[in-house]
Amino acid sequence: GAVVSQHPSRVICKSGTSVKIECRSLDFQATTMFWYRQFPKQSLMLMATSNEGSKATYEQGVEKDKFLINHASLTLSTLTVTSAHPEDSSFYICSARVGPLYNQPQHFGDGTRLSIL
């Protein structure tokens, strides 16, 4: 149980392109999803918290106009990297929390490797 699917697993595109990454909870409803960015050999950096039906909460230093997050349903959140540039190349990981309680663990997708040429 608690499977999170993230798609696509890898994206290679030209600079200036917008890229959409999907995060789906397959067997549970996720009122809260999280988006992380992971640089090589480093820990996860929380970018934003995505709540179903409301605006995402962005961490300090994360450009909300650059990283658009939509959480339109209890099973789907999307991250769109707008006008991507080489410095946006990274490993992006989503997670979803089972249930509304803040002490419940997050379950992670397999990540998306984004490479901007």
Which residue ranges make up the site for another protein (CB under 8 A)?
4, 6, 32, 34, 41-44, 46, 49, 91, 93, 95, 97, 102-103, 105-111, 113
Q: CB of 60: closest distance to another protein in angstroms?
A: 12
Return the number of the residue (44 or 68) whose C-beta is nearest another protein: 44
Q: State how far Cα 75 lies from the chain centre.
A: 13
Would you call 49 helix, strand, or coil by DSSP?
Answer: strand
Q: Which of 53, 50, 60 is nearest to 93 (CA)?
A: 50
Whether 92 contacts 37, CB under 8 Å: yes
Q: CB of 109: closest distance to another protein in angstroms?
A: 5
Q: CB of 16: closest distance to another protein in angstroms?
A: 26
Which tokens hold the place of 111?
């990540």
